């Protein structure tokens, strides 16, 4: 049902921007100006400039930066789009805009699964310098539905204009679906992804070597502390298949034997104790015996009652009619 | 009516008395009225009527345990004094329940079951009133003068016979102003009396009328399928009607038929004011056993017993004082003469007629049986319950009546159960020969023990060779020798007159043996719920019970193949046919089958205007195969000798032109039959082929009249031939060979690798015989000739393990990089050494998986076109991950910790659980011939119902199917995949989802079942998820295969077509671009044959092993809309997928930044009526659908 313009208003401090997918279908974007983080609870979080940053909720799952740029083309130039789901380790809903609107975000338990880039991501490169990245074929990233984004405009006026798009009475704007040849959708996307996942062997070698510092014929341990993997390991030459299995089995048996022995000693200890008690306190032991018997009987009865209760329960669910 | 009246029926004295004079119920009830001890016990079982008989009276009985048991059961429901120590009586009761039954809960379950299968006392009084009036009416019937049988029958049909007679007394009736009375034909057996018969039929009022059978002894058990209770009324024909020679040539049966017809005529007469529907019924289709069935019309009169759902069966019986002597009915006697010109030799004239004689003996047995049952019931307190359990057990397995098919020979088999219990209690009559141990008498058993002992006897006794005689007071009437060879099986009851197994084919008895054995295995086993398995579940489903089921249309049987003697002996043509059929089939199938059964519908009442029952035209033949011998290609017969021996003649006679003389490897020359088959699918058809051959050769039943469903199932697992013709090789064996070749190549090359290869282990269903389709090889040059919709190449997963080395990096991310380096190296080396081999490193990193997890694989396409995916197992990863998990560094965020946990899970699944699973499953394939096929069919079925992969993992299916094979006992293991499939479907249907199943997959051979216990809950989780998504659970109730089989038209194909009505939305995909479309169940060949315009694209498209955009698309959708909707898709080439909105978000919810679904503000009306928060949002369904279509551009059909 296409929303009428009058219904487009605000919700929890967000302006509602209706985006038209096709003639009858509208997608709702919730936008507002980004407010910088007041608390210092998360100091490493990037502080986006207030004023020219827009916070957008319910971004379409397949949105690309380019599409968002196109969406706001009429309002001005977008400098950068940050998809919060891509930020590693970030609780993207505890967005720096910590005002009253997000009153229930704290209780939000399900974290969006941050999409980690393959090893070529910046984080890896920072800890392990000089890694040759795998060639990247750009393709569309599909994020979980209802995710959020921060949009940095080049200037504050563009941001204001963009926010004004959602004013009541404004016309729904068209989602730019057409013709992105670099990031196709659907079938072409999957073909591209298939190829992107399978880089050439040369690229793999360059990447892997740079990461693990392995070069054939080089020294075993390099100066960075990276260990090289070569023949002749902990168990010497390989002895053919099934080594691991055999050793594990052996271990299992050992554990089993051990456990068995322990049980015995425990049991013996118990017997011993019983004997000692019996020798010293004959009267009490006979008393114990009686008590034991009674408790055993009570146990017997308890079990019987349990069984009966279970059967009664089954009976009430009409389980005893064979046909 | 005094309450003691009911009990007086049971009284022995009553029955004896009633022999002398007509039953005078009032008088009898005043003579004797003492409460039966067993009766009181019974009442307390039911718990509802126990008030009048206080069971505390008889604490001193022999079976104190059982009696007190009931008392405690009662006392506690009232008092609930669970904390007090139990009294001595209670302790005894509890101990008795534990010792005398399988477990105390089993005992309680039995107690809960029994009242449900017994008639309600509150409904009985109208029936009793009716029986009085019936008795009075029958005792007042006027006699019919002796007449010629045919003339009498004509007169009866015209209605003149009785009206003449009565007209003599009461002339007013002749006017016939009332409604026209029913046309009654005399049910004379065929051949009917001829015109030159020199004997007469007549009628006199019964010399005695008594209620007999299980009703009078109160041991009746509810019939299955809502069939009515049967109250047997024995009507004793006066001895004066018979002559000494009446045992000859059906004369007795003709007289009996006339007697019955006269009663029918009278009772159905509206003037009788009985208001009943009257029908004939012939058990087993045998006209000699015809009885009269009275069903009361609903009229709310005091005698209207229709609420009880009971019918009255009138059985004419022979008085003991009749002139027909019992000695004439010895099994060796010949009591009918077949006209000589029908037969080839004169010596046939005196052929013994044991079945005929046995049926003749039955005519005097009803009253005798009542006495013996009553004695037993009084002597042995547990007898009643044991008999009830036994009959419930038998009914659940089709050994008895019911609307569904029953096993040949067991219809109306009540005496069999009574007699087998009798045999156990009374013991066996001492055998003549020395050293032969006869069964002892056992009296002190509980009902469960008796039940189990009967099953044990049935499962172990060799009925074909050893006759059984219940110990009888008067010794044997006929010697054992007289029985030998006359019947297929012999079990003579305590009166020593009746062989209760007469007319039961040996094949059916073997089926009974098998069922008894299977039940004992369940009772002795540890897993599952034995009680419901034994008593509550209906085991009559043909498809889950038999390995092969054939539906045979008998209308085309050549009638001349059955001799007249056999027809007369069996009482009907169909009886003779089925007997002969079962003997022939048993002979031909031999050791291939453990049991075979012929099933048909139980006989139905027919109107009085039909003298003869209609023969069943459709029967089913069910085979339970011996999985080791069933599929052998050669049947070896007797050795060939120069003058052909008798055995040789018989062999050739059986097989016809199939029999040939062959020389075998061991030098023997024997008669033999060879079955030619092309492939393993066909090999599974051999038993069916044998049945078809025998039917055609001996009974003239063409193959068109025999339906077997195996080929239909085969088709489901086969790819379309237009595609397979392109492939170079296919099959599981070929895939295994290719795997071994690759493995040895890699091992040979390991000098060129940094580390030696320790092990390459397969982890793919293609290499353990459980993938839906046989794996295929698609060489690169073939790929381009295939259409895009048939270009899918399955990757076969392998794990590679290098020798242990301490020099791997100690960093998780670097380990993954090192793996890639290894892959690159391996790829280069392989490509260099094997021309034509292609290898690519794939970094298939599923979204959400951290870089620390294993994510690289090497995809190898061999020159032959086999595609493998290789992963490296490095056990250091586990150590490193565990180290982090056990003591997480402070710097690690919760998100990263989650990642580590995920990586550990992936590691366990891929490198620990998967190889172990593979080994166990591969072992199962070798242990059970039908296992692989079952898994394949079930996978196909689940896939066709859009569940496989997204909702039920392939491994979960394998574990589930294993439950049908391991831990069920050898008698329950399916030998064909069709039966295995039916059993799995049945399990899914009956499965109580709240309980998981434990499957002892590993057995004893494998160490460490611990891993499996973790895998099984995994499977359970999947099922639970499934039920949450579809609370109706309708998915599982669809198309239980049996319903189709019984109606004769099982639409195998239809079972694999998914109904789409239950989905919120269904999206169509373009079949032409789906690489797996050719695997679709309903694949349209036109899609790949006629799409010539796509040919231009073929050349440029390279081979992409494992590429399935639809699968990726659905994975993406499932991830993106994880909290929005559940998706359902057929991974095997489905061209549609469906979705169901998550029920939790279909109503308005408060707006949140992270709502995890595409929302829109609620409209004004919405929040006004709900009174919700103003800032509520609802799911924007249209936008989501639009997004789904957009993301599937090119895949989704617009």
- Note whether B1043 contacts A: Cβ–Cβ < 8 A: no
Q: Which residues of B touch A142 (CB under 8 A)?
A: 847, 1116, 1119-1120, 1191
B residues 812-851 closer than 8 Å to A (CB): 813-814, 816-818, 820-824, 827-828, 839-845, 847-851
Task: Give ∠ CA B1024-B1029-B1035 in degrees, rounded to 5.
Answer: 85
Residue A289, helix vs strand vs coil: helix
Cβ–Cβ gap A3/B1161 under 8 Å: yes
Given A208, A310, A320, which is nearest B113 (Cβ)?
A320
B residues 85-114 closer than 8 Å to A (CB): 85-86, 90-91, 94-95, 97, 103-105, 108-109, 111-113
Q: Which residues of A touch B824 (CB under 8 A)?
A: 201, 204-205, 208
Given A14, A208, A233, which is nearest B805 (Cβ)?
A233
Cβ–Cβ gap B112/A248 under 8 Å: no
Q: CA of B992: which chain A residue's CA is closest?
A: A319
Distances (CA, A) of B269 to B26, B90, B163, B264, B1013: 27, 58, 11, 8, 70
Residues pairing with A82 in the sheet? A150
From A160's Cα to the closest Cα of chain B, the distance in A is 21
Compute the average pLDDT of residues B404-431: 83
From A143's Cα to the closest Cα of chain B, the distance in A is 6
Q: Which residues of B touch A224 (CB under 8 A)?
A: none
Q: Do B1052 and B996 touch, CB atoms closer than 8 A?
A: no
The pLDDT of residue B867 is: 92
List the single range of A39-48, B131-140, B487-496 with lowest mean pLDDT. Answer: A39-48
Q: How far is the C-alpha of B752 from the C-alpha of B868, rounded, in Å?
A: 21
Compute the average pLDDT of residues B78-103: 71
**Confidence tier at B436 by pLDDT (50, 70, 90):** low
Token pair recorded at residue A116: 């980690």
Residue-wise pLDDT for A272-310, tens only, equals 655 555 555 566 667 777 778 888 888 888 888 888 888
Given B103, B1120, B1175, which is nearest A61 (Cβ)?
B1120
Q: CA of B1075: which chain A residue's CA is closest?
A: A187
Q: Which residues of A touch B820 (CB under 8 A)?
A: 204, 207-208
Cβ–Cβ gap A301/B82 under 8 Å: yes
- Note whether B892 contacts A: Cβ–Cβ < 8 A: no
Cβ–Cβ gap B1186/A7 under 8 Å: no
The pLDDT of residue B767 is: 92
Q: How far is the C-alpha of B1183 from the C-alpha of A163, rounded, in Å?
A: 22
Given A28, A237, A304, which is nearest B94 (Cβ)?
A304
Q: Do B469 and B557 touch, CB atoms closer than 8 A?
A: no
**Confidence tier at B994 by pLDDT (50, 70, 90):** very low
Query: How many residues are given for chain B?
Result: 1198
Q: CA of B843: which chain A residue's CA is closest?
A: A197
Q: Are strands B593-601 and B405-407 parallel, antiparallel or unpaired?
A: antiparallel
- Note whether B1187 contacts A: Cβ–Cβ < 8 A: yes
Given A11, A61, A294, which is nearest B1175 (Cβ)?
A11
Residue B877 carries which DSSP code?
H
Nearest to B423 by CA among B462, B347, B372, B353: B372
Residue-wise pLDDT for B1-27, tens only, equals 444 333 333 333 333 333 333 333 333
Token pair recorded at residue B579: 């007997």
List the single range of A128-142, A234-248, B296-310 with lowest mean pLDDT. Answer: A234-248
Cβ–Cβ gap A320/B1104 under 8 Å: no
Nearest to B1138 by CA among B1034, B1067, B1077: B1067
**Strand ranges in B651-809 using DSSP code E only, listed in sequence order:** 659-663, 669-674, 706-708, 757-762, 796-802
The pLDDT of residue B998 is: 47
**Which residues, including other chains, have CB under 8 Å from residue B25's CB and lie 6 or more apart?**
B5, B8, B132, B135
Residue B208 has pLDDT above 60, yes or no: yes
Residue written as token pair 């046939």: B348
Residue B1083: is it exposed, middle or buried by C-beta count within 10 angstroms (0-12/13-18/19+)? buried
ipTM of this complex? 0.73
Cβ–Cβ gap A323/B395 under 8 Å: yes
**Confidence tier at B1003 by pLDDT (50, 70, 90):** very low
Q: How far is the C-alpha of B678 from the C-alpha of B718, rounded, in Å?
A: 15
Helix (H) or strand (E) run with residue B815 in it:
helix B812-833
Cβ–Cβ gap B225/A323 under 8 Å: yes
Token pair recorded at residue B609: 């205007």
Quote helix, strand, coil % in chain A, to nearest 5: 40, 15, 45
Given B112, B807, B1187, which is nearest A228 (Cβ)?
B807
Nearest to A28 by CA among B628, B1176, B822: B1176
Residue-wise pLDDT for B313-352, tens only, equals 889 988 878 777 777 878 888 887 766 555 454 445 577 8
Residue-wise pLDDT for B219-236, tens only, equals 888 888 788 888 888 888
Quote helix, strand, coil % in chain B, to nearest 5: 50, 15, 40
Residue-wise pLDDT for A135-164, tens only, equals 777 778 888 888 888 888 888 888 888 888
B interface test, pick of A96, A207, A238 with most B CB neighbours within 10 Å: A238
A interface test, pick of B1154, B1165, B1168, B1179 with most A CB neighbours within 10 Å: B1154
For B494-572, where are the alpha helices, taking DSSP H only?
Answer: 506-524, 530-531, 542-545, 564-570
Residue-wise pLDDT for B637-675, tens only, equals 888 888 888 888 889 888 988 888 888 888 888 889 999
Q: Which residues of A touch B86 (CB under 8 A)?
A: 297-298, 300-301
- Note whether B139 contacts A: Cβ–Cβ < 8 A: no
Q: How far is the C-alpha of A272 from the C-alpha of A266, rounded, in Å?
A: 10
Cβ–Cβ gap A187/B1193 under 8 Å: yes
Given A119, A237, A243, which is nearest B817 (Cβ)?
A119
Residue B729 has pLDDT above 90, yes or no: no
The pLDDT of residue B404 is: 79
Residue-wise pLDDT for B1044-1056, tens only, equals 344 444 455 566 7
B residues 301-320 closer than 8 Å to A (CB): none
Cβ–Cβ gap A199/B843 under 8 Å: yes
Residue-wise pLDDT for B57-73, tens only, equals 333 333 333 433 343 34
End-to-end Cα separation, chain A, in angstroms: 51
Cβ–Cβ gap A187/B1159 under 8 Å: no
Per-range mean pLDDT, top range of A268-277, B299-308, B771-780, B1173-1182:
B771-780
- Note whether B529 contacts A: Cβ–Cβ < 8 A: no
Cβ–Cβ gap B535/A21 under 8 Å: no
Q: Determine if the pTM surpasses 0.90.
A: no
Residue-wise pLDDT for A63-116, tens only, equals 888 888 888 888 888 888 888 877 654 443 433 333 333 333 333 333 333 333
Q: Which residues of A touch B802 (CB under 8 A)?
A: 238
Helix/strand number for chain A, H first, E second: 7, 7
From B979's Cα to the closest Cα of chain A, the distance in A is 23
Query: How many residues are given for chain A?
Result: 323
* Average per-residue pLDDT for chain B: 77
Residue A251, helix vs strand vs coil: helix
**Confidence tier at A191 by pLDDT (50, 70, 90):** confident
**Strand ranges in B648-696 using DSSP code E only, listed in sequence order:** 659-663, 669-674
Given B111, B807, B1183, which is nearest A26 (Cβ)?
B1183
The pLDDT of residue B248 is: 80
Q: Do B362 and B315 touch, CB atoms closer than 8 A?
A: no
- Note whether B885 contacts A: Cβ–Cβ < 8 A: no
Given B95, B813, B827, which is nearest A119 (Cβ)?
B813
Q: Are strands B867-873 and B796-802 parallel, antiparallel or unpaired?
A: parallel
B residues 378-407 closer than 8 Å to A (CB): 392, 395-396, 402
Residue B50 has pLDDT above 50, yes or no: no
**Confidence tier at B306 by pLDDT (50, 70, 90):** confident
From A283's Cα to the closest Cα of chain B, the distance in A is 23
């Amino acid at each position: 049902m296409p929303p009428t313009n009058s219904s487009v208003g605000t919700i929890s401090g967000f302006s509602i921007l209706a985006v038209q997918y096709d003639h009858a279908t509208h997608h709702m974007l919730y936008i507002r100006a980004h407010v910088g983080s007041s608390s210092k609870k998360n100091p490493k979080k990037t502080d986006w400039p207030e004023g020219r940053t827009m916070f957008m909720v319910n971004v379409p799952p397949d949105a690309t930066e380019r599409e968002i740029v196109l969406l706001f083309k009429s309002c001005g130039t977008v400098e950068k789009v940050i998809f919060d789901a891509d930020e590693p380790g970030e609780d993207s809903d505890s967005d720096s805009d910590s005002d009253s609107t997000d009153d229930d975000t704290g209780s939000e338990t399900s974290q969006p699964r941050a999409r980690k880039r393959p090893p070529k991501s910046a984080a890896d490169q920072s800890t392990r310098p000089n890694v040759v990245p795998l060639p990247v074929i750009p393709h569309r990233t599909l994020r979980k539905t209802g995710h959020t984004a921060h949009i940095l405009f080049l200037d504050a006026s563009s941001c204001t204009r963009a926010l004004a798009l959602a004013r009541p009475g404004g016309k729904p704007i068209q989602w730019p679906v057409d013709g992105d040849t670099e990031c196709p959708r659907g079938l072409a996307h999957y073909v591209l992804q298939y190829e992107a996942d399978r880089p050439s062997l040369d690229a793999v070698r360059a990447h892997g070597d740079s990461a693990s510092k392995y070069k054939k014929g080089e020294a075993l341990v390099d100066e960075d502390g990276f260990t090289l993997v070569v023949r002749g390991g902990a168990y010497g030459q390989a002895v053919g298949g099934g080594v691991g299995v055999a050793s594990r089995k052996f271990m299992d048996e050992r554990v089993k034997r051990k456990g068995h022995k322990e049980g015995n000693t425990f049991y013996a200890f118990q017997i011993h104790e019983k004997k000692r008690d019996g020798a010293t306190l004959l009267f009490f032991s006979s008393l114990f015996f009686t008590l034991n018997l009674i408790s055993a009987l009570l146990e017997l009865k308890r079990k019987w009652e349990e069984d009966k209760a279970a059967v009664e329960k089954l009976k009430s669910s009409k389980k005893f009619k064979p046909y | 009516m005094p309450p003691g009246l009911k009990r007086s029926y049971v009284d022995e004295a009553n029955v004896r008395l009633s022999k002398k004079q007509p039953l005078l119920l009032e008088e009898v009830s005043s003579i004797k009225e003492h409460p039966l001890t067993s009766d009181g016990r019974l009442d307390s079982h039911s718990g509802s009527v126990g008030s009048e008989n206080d069971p505390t009276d008889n604490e001193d009985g022999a079976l104190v345990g059982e009696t007190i048991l009931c008392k405690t059961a009662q006392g506690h429901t009232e008092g609930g004094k669970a904390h007090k120590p139990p009294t001595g009586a209670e302790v005894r009761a509890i101990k008795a329940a534990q010792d005398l039954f399988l477990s105390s809960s089993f005992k309680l379950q039995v107690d809960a079951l029994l009242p449900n299968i017994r008639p309600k006392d509150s409904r009985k009084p109208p029936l009793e009133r009716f029986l009085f009036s019936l008795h009075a009416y029958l005792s007042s019937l006027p006699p019919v003068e002796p007449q010629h049988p045919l003339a009498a029958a004509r007169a009866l049909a015209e209605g003149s016979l009785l009206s003449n007679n009565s007209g003599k007394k009461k002339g007013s009736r002749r006017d016939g102003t009332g409604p026209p009375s029913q046309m009654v034909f005399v049910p004379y057996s065929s051949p009917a009396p001829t015109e030159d018969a020199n004997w007469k039929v007549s009628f006199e009022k019964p010399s005695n009328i008594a209620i007999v059978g299980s009703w009078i002894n109160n041991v009746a058990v509810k019939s299955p399928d809502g069939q009515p209770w049967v109250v047997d009324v024995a009507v004793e024909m006066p001895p004066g009607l018979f002559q000494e020679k009446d045992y000859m040539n059906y004369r007795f049966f003709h007289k009996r038929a006339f007697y019955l017809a006269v009663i029918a005529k009278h009772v159905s007469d509206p003037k009788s004011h009985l208001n009943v529907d009257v029908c004939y019924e012939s058990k087993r289709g045998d006209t000699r056993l015809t009885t009269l069935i009275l069903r009361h019309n609903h009229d709310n009169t005091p005698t209207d017993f229709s609420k009880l759902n009971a019918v009255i069966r009138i059985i004419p019986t022979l008085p003991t004082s009749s002139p027909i002597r019992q000695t004439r009915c010895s099994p060796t006697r010949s009591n009918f003469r077949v006209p000589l010109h029908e037969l080839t030799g004169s010596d046939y004239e005196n052929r013994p007629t044991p079945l005929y004689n046995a049926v003749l003996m039955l005519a005097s047995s009803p009253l005798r049986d009542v006495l013996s049952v009553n004695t037993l019931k009084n002597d042995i307190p547990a007898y009643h319950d044991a008999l009830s359990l036994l009959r419930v057990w038998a009914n659940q397995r089709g050994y008895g009546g019911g609307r569904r098919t029953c096993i040949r020979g067991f219809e109306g088999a009540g005496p069999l159960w009574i007699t087998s219990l009798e045999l156990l209690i009374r013991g066996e009559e001492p055998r003549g020969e020395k050293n032969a141990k006869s069964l002892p008498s056992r009296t002190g058993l509980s009902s469960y023990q008796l039940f189990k002992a009967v099953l044990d006897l049935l499962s172990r006794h060799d009925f074909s060779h050893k006759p059984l005689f219940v110990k009888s007071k008067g010794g044997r009437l006929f010697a054992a020798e007289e029985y030998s060879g006359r019947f297929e099986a012999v079990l003579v009851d305590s009166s020593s007159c009746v062989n209760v197994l007469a007319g039961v084919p040996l094949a059916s008895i073997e089926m009974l043996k098998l069922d008894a054995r299977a039940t004992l295995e369940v009772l002795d086993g540890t897993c599952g719920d034995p009680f419901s398995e034994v008593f509550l579940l209906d085991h009559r489903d043909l498809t889950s019970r038999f390995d092969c089921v054939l539906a045979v249309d008998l209308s085309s049987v050549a009638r001349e193949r059955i001799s007249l003697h056999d027809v007369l002996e069996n009482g009907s043509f169909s009886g003779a046919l089925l007997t002969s059929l079962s003997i022939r089939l048993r002979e031909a199938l031999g050791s291939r089958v453990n049991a075979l059964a012929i099933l048909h519908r139980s006989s139905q009442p027919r109107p009085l205007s039909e003298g003869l029952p209609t023969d069943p035209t459709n029967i089913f033949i069910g085979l339970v195969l011996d999985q080791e011998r069933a599929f052998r290609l050669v049947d070896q017969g007797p050795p060939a000798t120069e003058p052909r021996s008798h055995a040789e003649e018989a062999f050739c006679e059986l097989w016809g032109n199939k029999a040939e003389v062959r020389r075998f490897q061991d030098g023997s020359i024997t008669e033999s039959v060879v079955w030619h088959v092309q492939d393993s699918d066909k090999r599974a058809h051999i038993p069916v082929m044998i049945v078809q051959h025998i039917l055609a050769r001996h009974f003239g039943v063409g193959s068109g009249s025999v339906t077997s469903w195996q080929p239909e199932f085969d088709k489901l697992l086969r790819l379309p031939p237009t595609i397979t013709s392109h492939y170079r090789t296919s099959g599981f064996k070929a895939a295994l060979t290719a795997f071994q070749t690759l493995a040895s190549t890699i091992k040979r090359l390991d000098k060129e690798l940094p580390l030696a290869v320790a092990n390459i282990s397969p982890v793919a269903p293609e290499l353990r015989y459980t993938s839906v389709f046989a794996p295929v090889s698609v060489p690169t040059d073939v790929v381009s000739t295939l259409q895009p919709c048939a270009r899918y190449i399955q990757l076969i997963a392998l794990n590679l393990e290098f020798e242990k080395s301490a020099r791997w990096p100690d960093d998780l991310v670097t380990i993954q990089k090192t793996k890639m380096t290894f892959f690159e190296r391996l790829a280069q080396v392989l490509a260099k050494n094997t021309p034509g081999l292609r290898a690519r490193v794939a970094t298939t990193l599923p979204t959400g998986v951290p870089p620390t997890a294993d994510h690289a694989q090497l995809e190898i396409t061999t020159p032959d076109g086999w595609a493998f995916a290789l992963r490296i197992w490095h056990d250091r990863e586990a150590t490193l991950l565990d180290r982090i998990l056990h003591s997480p560094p402070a710097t690690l965020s919760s998100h990263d910790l989650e990642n580590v946990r995920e990586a550990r899970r992936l590691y366990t699944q891929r490198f620990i659980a998967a190889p172990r699973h593979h080994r166990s499953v591969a072992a199962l394939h070798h242990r059970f011939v039908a296992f692989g096929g079952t898994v394949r069919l079930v996978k196909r079925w689940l896939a066709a119902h859009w569940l496989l992969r997204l909702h039920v993992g392939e491994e979960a299916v394998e574990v589930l199917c294993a439950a049908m094979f391991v831990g069920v006992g050898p008698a329950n293991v399916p030998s064909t995949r069709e039966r295995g499939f039916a059993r799995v479907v049945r399990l899914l249907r009956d499965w109580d989802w709240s309980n998981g199943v434990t499957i002892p997959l590993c057995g004893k051979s494998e160490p460490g079942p611990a891993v499996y216990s973790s895998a099984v809950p995994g499977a359970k989780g999947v099922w639970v998820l499934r039920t949450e998504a579809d609370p109706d659970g309708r998915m599982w109730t669809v198309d239980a295969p049996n319903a189709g089989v019984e109606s004769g038209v099982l639409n195998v194909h239809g079972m694999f077509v998914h109904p789409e009505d239950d989905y919120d939305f269904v999206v169509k995909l373009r079949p032409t671009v789906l690489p797996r479309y050719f695997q679709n169940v309903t694949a349209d060949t036109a899609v790949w044959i006629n799409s010539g315009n796509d040919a231009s694209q073929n050349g440029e498209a390279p081979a992409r092993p494992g590429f399935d955009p639809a699968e990726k698309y659905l994975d993406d959708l499932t991830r993106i809309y994880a909290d929005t909707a559940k998706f359902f898709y057929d991974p095997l080439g489905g061209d549609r997928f469906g979705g169901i909105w998550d029920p939790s978000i279909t109503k308005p919810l408060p707006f949140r930044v992270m709502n995890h679904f595409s929302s829109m503000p609620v409209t004004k009306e919405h929040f006004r009526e709900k009174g919700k928060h103003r800032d509520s949002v609802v799911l924007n369904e249209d936008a989501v659908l639009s997004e789904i279509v957009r993301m599937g551009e090119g895949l989704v059909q617009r």
